[in-house]
């Protein structure tokens, strides 16, 4: 399971019991306001983040490989 912490720019990988197994620090320049996760059929993780261009701009997606 994955948990996104947009305030602190972190993504946590949790084990089944809900304990943190891994912490990934997200790049504040690339992901200004991380707020959503999506997964591809091949297991790639995408993080949606507001672009900083205004409230109506489409969210950008960044691929996080090998997490």
- Whether residue 13 contacts residue 56, with contact meaning beta carbons closer than 8 Å, is answered with no
pTM of the predicted protein model = 0.70
Other beta carbons within 10 angstroms of residue 67's beta carbon come to 11
Number of compact structural domains in the chain: 1
DSSP string, 8-65: TTEEEEE-TTS-EEEEEEPPTTT-SSEEEEEE-TT--EEEEE--SS-TTSPPEEEEE-
Determine the pLDDT at residue 14: 94
**Residue spans of the chain under pLDDT 70:** 51-67
pLDDT at 51: 64
Residues 27-42: tens digit of each pLDDT: 888 888 888 888 888 8
Q: Specify the pLDDT at position 55.
A: 45
Range of the domain at 30: 2-64
């Amino acid at each position: 399971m994955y948990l996104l912490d947009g305030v602190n720019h972190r993504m946590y990988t949790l084990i089944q019991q809900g304990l943190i197994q891994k912490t990934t620090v997200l790049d504040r320049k690339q992901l200004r306001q991380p707020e959503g996760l999506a997964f591809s059929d091949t297991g790639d993780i995408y993080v949606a983040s507001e672009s900083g261009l205004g409230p109506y701009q489409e969210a950008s997606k960044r691929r996080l490989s090998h997490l």
